[in-house]
């Protein structure tokens, strides 16, 4: 499974949804995120004031990074991205490029995308999506 940015953020939050961290630990070894999601997290951290930035970085290093791998956007992902984007455009639908890239990586590795925004990703055929943020 691949964790989307919103799930990564919830995992590092002081008050994460009940059971969310337990799910991560239980699934450890089969949980990933993408370089695109990690870039979004790093951007969010970098925008904070220095004291808060350091504390947030430490939370990710302690609570999230030990349990996940990071998948790159490679040639096969790029090919899938192009195909999915063209299909959505033909239907008159749009998805932000970073989201399409994340979806392409999930399709490339045949993995479920874990996101709080399942409706958002439901437009992509064959993409499996779960929501760990629902109560």
The answer to whether domain 2-130 has CATH 3.90.1150.10 is no
pLDDT, tens digit, for every residue of 110-129?
Answer: 999 999 999 889 999 899 99
Q: How confident is the model at residue 25 (pLDDT cuts 50, 70, 90)?
A: low
Eight-state DSSP code of residue 66: G
91 burial type by CB count under 10 A (0-12 exposed, 13-18 middle, 19+ buried): exposed
**Which residues sit opposite 128 in a β-bridge?**
none
Q: Kindly list the distances between the CA atom of residue 109 and the CA atoms of 34, 54, 70, 76, 134, in Å, as whole numbers in the listed order.
A: 11, 33, 12, 10, 25
pLDDT, tens digit, for every residue of 56-77?
Answer: 999 889 888 888 999 999 999 9
Residue 87: name the closest of 105, 112, 65, 104 by CA: 104
d(CA 90, CA 107): 20
Provide the whole-model pTM. 0.90
How do 32-34 and 113-114 pair as beta strands? unpaired
Predicted pLDDT of residue 20? 77
The domain locations on the chain are 2-130
Q: How confident is the model at residue 78 (pLDDT cuts 50, 70, 90)?
A: very high
d(CA 81, CA 75): 10
pLDDT, tens digit, for every residue of 89-110?
Answer: 999 998 999 999 999 999 999 9
């Amino acid at each position: 499974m691949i964790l989307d940015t919103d799930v990564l953020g919830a995992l590092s939050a002081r008050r994460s949804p009940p059971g969310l961290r337990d799910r991560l630990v239980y699934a450890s070894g089969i949980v990933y995120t993408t370089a695109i999601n990690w870039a979004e997290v790093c951007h969010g951290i970098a925008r904070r004031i220095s004291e808060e930035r350091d504390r947030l970085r430490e939370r990710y290093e302690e609570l999230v990074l030990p349990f996940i791998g990071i998948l790159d956007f490679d040639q096969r992902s790029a090919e899938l991205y192009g195909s999915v984007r063209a299909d959505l455009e033909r239907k008159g639908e749009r998805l932000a490029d970073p989201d399409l890239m994340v979806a392409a990586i999930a399709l490339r590795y045949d993995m479920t995308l874990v996101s709080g925004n399942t409706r958002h990703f439901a437009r992509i055929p064959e993409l499996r999506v779960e929501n760990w943020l629902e109560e």
